[in-house]
């Protein structure tokens, strides 16, 4: 995603170590990553993620969940 080859990632059942290190990388590249409820990811996250390469795609994708 940070290299521009993937636009959207939607996952569930992940462990914190699967995604927490990627949060600053995705955000620094201009992407957005949250849980399925739109909350910022942290050590207590439930393992559901929506990650997109930009805010526009995030808004389109997130609206499908809510």
Q: Name the DSSP letter for residue 21.
A: G
pLDDT above 80 for 66: no
Structural domains of the chain, count: 1
Instruction: Using the predicted structure, report yes or no on whether residue 29 has a pLDDT greater than 80.
Output: yes
Indicate whether 3 belongs to any domain: no
CATH of the domain at 15: 3.40.190.80
Range of the domain at 42: 8-65
State the Cα–Cα distance between residues 26 and 41, nearest whole angstrom.
12
Task: Tell whether the model's pLDDT for residue 31 goes beyond 80.
Answer: yes
54 touches 48 (CB < 8 A):
no
Does residue 33 lie in a domain region? Answer: yes
pTM exceeding 0.95:
no
Inside any domain, residue 49: yes
Asked if residue 46 is part of any domain, the answer here is: yes
- Tell me whether residue 1 is in a domain: no
Average pLDDT in the 36-55 region? 96
Residue 15 has pLDDT above 80, yes or no: yes
Mean pLDDT, residues 36-53 = 96
Separation between Cα atoms, residue 49 and residue 51, nearest integer Å: 6
The CA distance from 52 to 34, in Å, is: 9
């Amino acid at each position: 995603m940070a290299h521009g080859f993937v636009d959207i990632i939607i996952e569930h059942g992940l462990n914190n170590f699967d995604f927490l290190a990627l949060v600053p990388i995705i955000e620094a590249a201009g992407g957005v990553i949250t849980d399925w409820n739109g909350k910022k990811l942290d050590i207590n996250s439930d393992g559901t993620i929506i990650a997109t390469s930009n805010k526009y795609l995030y808004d389109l994708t997130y609206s499908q969940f809510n």
